Amino acid sequence: MGAALAYAQTPEVIQQRLELVSRNLDQRRTTLESLFRQVGCATTEESVPHSREPNILCALDPENAGTIVVGGHFDFVDRGTGAVDDWSGVALLPSLYQSLKDRPLRHRFLFIAFAGEEEGLFGSKQYVRALSKEEKTGTRAMINLECLGLTTPKVWRSRANPKLFAAYVQAAAAAHIPAEVMDVDKLGDDDSHPFLNAGIPVLTIHSVTDANAGLLHSAGDNLKAINPRDYYDAYRLAATYLAYLDSKLE
């Protein structure tokens, strides 16, 4: 990896943004929009069937050909605070925008905070459904951030595109973070699924294990469940990975 890696944010800022989690859905959305604004990205909305909330989108270098989608979801199951599932993922999106925005990029990056994940992947299904054929073939990758910081970062390998997984291993080595694998086919689904169904290469980064899975969708899903060091490693790894994908993908 040639270029120096930009970790635009300190552990303190990453933790502060995580701690902005709210049990109020409108507040989650407003906080995200305000974080995107703070880092210099004007968001757009896409309305989602069966969901009161829209998807929130932020584009970086939209003039570039070839899109890398980076996703997480801001809705949550109304038990606990949904800090893990999935404020931990979605709250990283503005910071990842920040880590990339001053680099010369080859791709268009689209950061999407999906709505309505828990009730049936409504936001991601809508996004994929609305893509034209050209937009689908122009989407080089969908990287999903789900439930981070419970443990060290892990990849859902059985669902991941092999090329994206190989690149992840490289990026993890560069970030000096082990490239761990944990398949969660039996534990749940996520917003990568509609992209996978559309033939788009996907890779999900998460931190779920058999031991901690019971915490999701329970009162145990709160800030205390998140280890700040593991969470910051997830940020560093995702930032490194996205920069690496930008240099490697067609």
Binding site for Zn ion (CB under 5 A): 85-86
State in angstroms the smallest separation of the CB of 15 from Zn ion. Answer: 20
Question: Which residue, 114 or 165, is less far from Zn ion as judged by CB?
Answer: 114
Question: Which residue, 13 or 187, is less far from Zn ion as judged by CB?
Answer: 187
Question: Which residue, 38 or 197, is less far from Zn ion as judged by CB?
Answer: 197
Question: Which residue, 18 or 100, is less far from Zn ion as judged by CB?
Answer: 18
Phi, psi at residue 22, to the nearest 5°? -135, 155
Task: State the angle between helix axes of 228-248 and 162-174 in degrees (0 to 180), rounded to the nearest 10.
Answer: 120
Sign of the Cα torsion 73, 76, 80, 81 reads positive
Question: Which residue, 73 or 107, is less far from Zn ion as judged by CB?
Answer: 73
* Residue 165: both structure tokens together: 């997984």
State in angstroms the smallest separation of the CB of 114 from Zn ion. Answer: 9
Q: Which residue has the tokens 């899975």?
A: 213
State in angstroms the smallest separation of the CB of 84 from Zn ion. Answer: 8
- Looking at the DSSP bridge assignments, the partners of residue 145 are 205
Question: Which residue, 6 or 223, is less far from Zn ion as judged by CB?
Answer: 223
Q: Which residues of 78-89 are buried (b: 16+ CB within 10 A; e: fewer)?
A: eebbbbbbbbbb
Closest CA to 157 of 171, 168, 146: 168
State in angstroms the smallest separation of the CB of 144 from Zn ion. Answer: 9
Question: Which residue, 116 or 201, is less far from Zn ion as judged by CB?
Answer: 116
State in angstroms the smallest separation of the CB of 122 from Zn ion. Answer: 13
* Residue 45: both structure tokens together: 């909305």
State in angstroms the smallest separation of the CB of 216 from Zn ion. Answer: 7
Closest CA to 147 of 192, 177, 178, 108: 192
CA atoms of 3 and 233, how far apart (whole Å): 19
CA atoms of 101 and 217, how far apart (whole Å): 34
State in angstroms the smallest separation of the CB of 175 from Zn ion. Answer: 24
Q: Which residue has the tokens 């999900």?
A: 204
Phi, psi at residue 160, to the nearest 5°? -75, 145
